[in-house]
Amino acid sequence: MSGNQTPRGHSPVISPAPSLRSGEDFRVSLNVEADQIPEYLLKKQCVLFYAPETEELAKKVAAQNSNIELGKCRWRKFADGFPDLFVENATAIRNKHVAFLASFHNPSVIFEQMSVIYALPRLFVGSFTLVLPFFPTGTLERVETEGDVATAFTLARILTNVPPSRGGPTSLVIFDIHALQERFYFGDAVLPLFESGIPLLLKRLRSLPDKDNITIAYPDEGAHKRFHLAFKAEGFQEVICTKVRDGAKRIVRVKEGNPAGRHVVIVDDLVQSGGTLIECQSVLAQMGAKHVSAYATHGVFPNYSWQKFKSDAGEGAKPGCFRYFWITDSCPASTEVASREPFEVLSLAAPIADALLI
C-alpha cells in the first residue's frame, strides 16, 4: 500500500486535533504537525526547489524528513540584467508533489522568483506548494488617504494567480503575517496556510532556567491582538505597552501589567529599525524588570539595524540591553546575526517540513 492510500476495507479516519486543556481558547491556532496526520494521508515524496537566498533553510527542511528531496534551478542573468532561468530535471518531477521556498526580501528578486513559481505548476506536477515565510509588504495593508497604494493587497493578488497544478490550487504557506485582515486578501484560486513561529518560542522559553518567572510583553495593541491567545493558553503573565503622543513625539508607556522582578519577553511579528522595541525595553527596565528579552518572527533589519541591539550579560535589566533576542530564519538577515549576542535564531525548518507533508 502506498503512503497516500486509504487502507483497504477502511474508511478514512482523521486523527482528532489535540484536545484543549481547561481554560484554553479554541481560537488558539497550532501549526501543522505531521505526526498528527495518519501516514496514508501524507504525501509520499516532495521535491523542494528554492531561491538562492533560501538554500541554507531548504537544506535544513530536507534534513527534517527523508520524504523531502531538494530540486535545483539555474539562476543566471542575460547581459541586459534580465533573468536566465532553468528548472533542472523538469520531466522527473511529473506527478510529484513539488514545493518552492521563496524569499521576497528585496523587490529586485521577486520577478525572477515569480517566474519560476508560475512555471513549476505547469510542468505536470501532482501538486504545488509555495512557502513564503515572510510576507514582506504586510505593513502597507491599508489605504488611509486617497492615493495610498496598498502593496500588500497587490502582492496577494499576484500570488493568488499562481497557476493550478494537476492536483488543484496552489497551497501557500506564510508565517505570522503582519495584519490579521491580510488573511482575507488572497482569492479562492490558492489555499493559504497561515503558520506561526510562536510554538518555537514557547519551546525555547520552557528550556530557560527562569521559565517560571517569565512575563510576555507586547509593544502595542496590535501585537497583543495577534499573539496573546497563544500565551494566555500557556498561563503566562502579560504586559501591554502602547504608544502615546507627547507633543510632536510618540513615546512608549506600559498600559497594563507589572514587569517588576520578572524576565519580560517582548513579542512581535517583525522588527525593522528596532526603535519601538528599544523604547519598550527601556520602559520595562525602568519599571524594575529583572531581564528583558525580545522575539520577532521576522528579523528584517534594513541598513544593518541589528547593530543597535546590546547584550545584557549581567544581573538586572539595563536600558537598551536585551538578555536574549530571538528571531527565525524567515529572512536572509538572520545569517548576519546568528553568531552575535544577544541574537539566537530559531529555525522554521521543522514546521515548514511538516506543512509540506500534508
Q: Provide the grid cell at 312.
A: 545584557
Three cell numbers, residue 255: 498600559
Tell me the residue type at 63: A
Tens-digit pLDDT profile for the chain (358 aa)? 444 444 554 444 444 545 545 555 545 556 777 677 666 565 568 999 999 999 999 999 999 999 999 999 999 999 999 999 999 999 999 999 999 999 999 999 999 999 999 999 999 999 999 999 999 976 766 667 888 888 888 999 999 999 999 999 999 999 998 776 777 888 899 999 999 999 999 999 999 999 999 999 999 998 999 999 999 999 999 999 998 866 667 788 999 999 999 999 999 999 999 999 999 999 999 999 999 999 999 999 999 999 999 998 767 778 889 999 999 999 998 988 988 999 999 999 999 999 998 7
Q: What is the pLDDT of residue 21?
A: 52
- Give me the pLDDT at residue 14, please: 45
Domains and CATH numbers, the chain: 39-195 (3.40.50.2020), 198-347 (3.40.50.2020)
